[in-house]
Structure 1
Amino acid sequence: MGIFDFLNSKPSVEKLTKNLVNYVYNSVQTEKGVRVEDAICVMSTIVAERCIKIVNEFSIDEHDFEPGSTIFSEKINELLVGPIAVENWNNLPVECVFARIKRKIDSHFHKSPFPSLKGIFETYAKNVGESEWGNLILSVPLENIPSILPLQAGYETRKYIEKNINLESDEKTLRIVINAICRILIETKMALDSSVALTLTFEIINGMSKTATMTDKKMAELQAETKK
């Protein structure tokens, strides 16, 4: 195989995005179908883990933090919304994660109120240590709370991402996962109130990007304890 054949054989961003979206739908599929809140939870957590990897303040695979514990990070804040706190979505730096997501879905959600940027961060900060282990307190109605623990979702999807999506660089992978959350939001728009879907997305990305991930080592310890 020549070098040009090799380059042409690489999966496109579009193909990888489609594969990831289908993987997420399949991962939350039940006999009753796909619950949108769970699909958003899983995909938003995947985005959060990729943000942690880009910032590289600790490894998502190996670290000494207690999984589920809070890790506040200025670098994460800058990646998500830029170096300066703003309230108007239109004032976000174009390269930050929240702006990139909004830009891709704006034509579909431009008449829908995006959640307050200040509220996203305040909801997380004021509830630190109050939520069930591995979960987040979210400002959506109880009936819209995901049934899946975000911490578990991140751990259980990580190997798939590393093997099938993170094929070239972390930056390209972040681009793909951003594409994927946008596609899920657009495809499921008619099945869930837009304000709920958007709030879930941004609150989970923010919260889980500041949460110590589950690791193989800790998982093995937990499994060993349950066998005692």
Structure 2
Amino acid sequence: MIGRLPLDEQFAALKSALARNEVLVEVLNRTAGLGLPDWYVTAGCLFQTVWNVVTDRQPTTGIKDYDVFYFDDRDVSWQAEDTVIKAAREAFAGLPAEVEVEVEVRNEARVHLWYEQKFGVACAPHASTEAAIDSFAATTCCLGVRLEPSGRWRVYAPHGLADVFNLVVRPNPVLAPREVYETKTARWQQQWPELTVLDWPSRPAGLMPSSS
């Protein structure tokens, strides 16, 4: 079982699995050419590729969105982000995919400006792209990959890779509300019924019961 291998072997297995998704590899290569600060391709397109490989599906099955995060707090205006989005739209035109896919590019330095309106809870400003990845609703989602100028793959996986390979979805109650987690996991289970989805905790993470 890959999730029980040493970390270096898990990393090699991750790279091997992700490389089977030709769309993902193309997104990584084209994003590297944009010169975005502190960028990662992240979220579903990564762990869902692994799920597909582990369950003997085509690597791109069920994946329609490829998320690119970057961090630039020098200008957090919508105009600055929109300029990057438009440049990315040109860069990602004509992706070689069997079905139409969307590449969504977002500046994580701006998340706190719109998060509460969308999700109903306040979000403190992120200090980095990694901090934004840390806040996903499931720890299994906390995964980012980018290509360094040397061509080396940089992988950010603060919770490790075991759950990703073992098809376990574990809640991460640090920011996103329970409803987000349960909506996402219900959708994922329809596509990947092999998943083991753990319940949202009854109390916030780190909150110990009273001794009184």
Identify the structure with the greater strand proportion.
2
TM-score exceeds 0.5: no
Instruction: From the two aligned structures, give the one with the greater helix fraction.
Output: 1
In which range does the TM-score fall when normalised by the shorter chain?
under 0.3
Q: Give the TM-score normalised by structure 2.
A: 0.27
Larger RCO (alpha carbons 8 Å, 6+ apart): 1
